């Protein structure tokens, strides 16, 4: 109607999914209960100097115990969908048998969500590898991909009758390069060859996971979530960073194999027997949707001041501020680049619809106008991409709750909902109220 058109100046397509996202290790706490085994992040948090303030996964936002309360918050916001991850260390006992009690938590979560009309969107792996697997080489070990498939089947067998939306792996770039090259994330290794092996084994795990999902849930809508970055600056640096960040994952997933220019850059460290017959077909299993996690773009140059181990074979590349305002994490706020990214991904990989599986920012406080402005600008950018023909199906704000921001600990707050980590009191931020209006109006 006319009233709605004037009130909501930007309307999203009918059926557009409004969501918010979290991940298991970042919110659950209760890391030693109900048979949960140690993960690489538990071990990493115990390493002096690894995480700001020595913060750990406990008690976190205590979501494992406050789940009902948190689903009530989602209902208050009016979320269409909730993206969460399952903790692999909760699902399998140390001896590899299925931990029914650990899975029971997700079983109840899914039921709660469905009871409240919220679509569960399940991510199988958001960085919390069982430490026992790391002790056998972690993602640098090919066998981990097959263990992931076993784990995926255990989750599918328990939840596949009710969960339709699945993502295999969240941000394999972080697991591979921050985990094994720079060592900024768990398991904190600095080994270029291990990082490249991890890239391949994470992608192989994705492909095997897709196969398991297809076997068990024929109606599934499934894919993976990549943290993609638009890159600008010196041509060779752009090619290298775009290659290691974006194309090294998208090209194999969309059936093109690894990009030759990236293979040439990393040749010295790429293990000889890494890619076996059939692997690329497994990785190229058709997906239904590509999840994009968008936070910022990169401004790069051919010469950085100090070598950065993250960028295997391109350690000399420099990263520079654009001059844009920054969030509390120091990240440049670059909404327009989101339009370019979505348009470019859809043009270069036209096979599938897109969904923004994460977008958000760290800002302090409950009166968080900055977060409102951030989300509004990014939704405008997403809408502009839709206007240019991009098939964008949804938007998930990162994050529902303030939580454990990995190596940054609890100091950086991404939530729509404020969490007092001492009392576990939840308070809706101004942005949460604003987002609830956006959801109700399907725009703003
Ligand atoms: C996402 O990562 C994650 O999926 C989510 O869990 C996380 O909470 C959220 O975004 C916010 O960060 O300077 O070398 O330490 C986005 C990718 C990875 C970007 C870590 C910042 C710090 C790299 N993030 N990275 S480093």
* Residue of 28, 51, 295 to test ligand 1 pocket, by largest number of atoms within 8 Å of CB: 295
- pLDDT, residue 2, reads 47
Residue 410 known to bind ligand: no
Per-residue model confidence as pLDDT tens digits over 206-227: 999 999 999 999 999 999 999 9
How far does residue 331's CA lie from ligand 1's centre (Å)?
11
Strand partners, 355: 291
Give yes or no for residue 5 having a pLDDT over 60: no
Give yes or no for residue 12 having a pLDDT over 60: yes
358 included as an active-site residue: yes
Q: Whose CA is nearest to atom 11 of ligand 1?
A: 405
Question: Could you tell me the CA-to-CA distances from 366 to 197, 327, 363, 420 in Å, in that order?
Answer: 43, 15, 9, 11
Per-residue model confidence as pLDDT tens digits over 273-282: 999 999 999 9
9 pLDDT band, cuts 50/70/90, is confident
Residue 170 known to bind ligand: yes
Residue 405 known to bind ligand: yes
- pLDDT, residue 6, reads 52
- pLDDT, residue 96, reads 87
134 included as an active-site residue: no
Work out the widest C-alpha separation in the chain, in whole angstroms. Answer: 64
Question: Could you tell me the CA-to-CA distances from 153 to 98, 172, 214 in Å, in that order?
Answer: 10, 20, 11
- pLDDT, residue 414, reads 98
405 Cβ closer than 6 Å to some ligand 1 atom: yes
398 Cβ closer than 6 Å to some ligand 1 atom: yes
| ipTM, two decimals | 0.92
227 Cβ closer than 6 Å to some ligand 1 atom: yes
343 pLDDT band, cuts 50/70/90, is very high
The mean pLDDT value of the chain amounts to: 97
Q: How far is CA 283 from the centre of its chain?
A: 18
295 Cβ closer than 6 Å to some ligand 1 atom: yes
Q: Are 346 and 391 in contact (CB under 8 A)?
A: yes
Average pLDDT over residues 153-179: 98
Per-residue model confidence as pLDDT tens digits over 74-113: 999 999 999 999 999 999 988 889 999 999 999 999 999 9
Percent of the chain with pLDDT over 70: 98
Per-residue model confidence as pLDDT tens digits over 248-264: 999 999 999 999 999 99
407 Cβ closer than 6 Å to some ligand 1 atom: yes
- pLDDT, residue 1, reads 46
Q: Which of 200, 207, 198 is nearest to 177 (CA)?
A: 198
């Amino acid at each position: 109607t006319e009233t709605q058109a004037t009130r909501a100046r930007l309307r999203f397509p009918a059926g557009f999914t409004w969501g918010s996202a979290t991940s298991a290790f970042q919110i659950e706490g209760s890391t030693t209960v109900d048979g949960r085994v140690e993960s690489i992040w538990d071990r990493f948090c115990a390493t002096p100097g690894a995480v700001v303030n020595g913060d750990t996964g406990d008690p976190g936002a205590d979501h494992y115990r406050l789940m009902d309360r948190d689903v009530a918050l989602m209902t208050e916001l009016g979320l269409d969908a909730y993206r969460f991850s399952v903790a692999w260390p909760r699902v399998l006992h140390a001896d590899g048998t299925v931990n029914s009690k650990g899975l029971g938590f997700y079983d109840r979560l899914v039921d709660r969500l469905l009871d409240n009309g919220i679509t569960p969107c399940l991510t199988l792996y958001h960085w919390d590898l069982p430490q026992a697997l790391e002790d056998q080489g972690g993602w640098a070990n090919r066998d981990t991909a097959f263990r992931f498939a076993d784990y995926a089947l255990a989750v599918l067998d328990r939840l596949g009758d009710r969960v339709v939306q699945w993502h295999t792996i969240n941000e394999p770039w972080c697991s591979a390069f921050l985990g094994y090259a720079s060592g900024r994330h768990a398991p904190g290794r600095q080994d270029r060859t291990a990082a490249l092996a991890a890239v391949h084994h994470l992608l192989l795990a994705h492909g095997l996971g897709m196969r398991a999902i297809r076997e068990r849930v024929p109606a599934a809508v499934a894919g993976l979530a990549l943290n993609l970055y638009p890159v600008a600056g010196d041509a060779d640096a752009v090619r290298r960073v775009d290659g290691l960040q974006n194309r090294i994952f998208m090209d194999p997933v969309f059936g093109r194999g690894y990009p030759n220019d990236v293979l040439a850059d990393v040749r010295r460290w790429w293990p000889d027997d890494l890619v076996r017959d059939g692997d690329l077909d497994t990785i190229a299993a058709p997906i239904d949707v590509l999840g994009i996690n968008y936070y910022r773009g990169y401004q790069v140059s051919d010469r950085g001041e100090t070598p950065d181990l993250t960028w295997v074979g391109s350690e000399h590349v420099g990263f520079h501020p654009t001059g844009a305002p920054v969030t509390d994490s120091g990240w440049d706020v670059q909404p327009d680049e989101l339009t370019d990214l979505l348009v470019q991904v859809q043009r270069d990989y036209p096979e599938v619809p897109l969904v923004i599986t994460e977008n958000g920012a760290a800002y302090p406080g409950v009166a968080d106008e900055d977060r409102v402005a951030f989300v509004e600008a990014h939704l405008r950018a997403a809408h502009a991409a839709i206007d240019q023909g991009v098939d964008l199906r949804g938007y998930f704000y990162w994050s529902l709750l303030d939580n454990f921001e990995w190596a940054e600990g609890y100091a950086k707050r991404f939530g729509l909902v404020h969490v007092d980590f001492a009392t576990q009191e939840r308070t809706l931020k101004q942005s949460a109220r604003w987002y609830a209006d956006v959801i109700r109006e399907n725009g703003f």
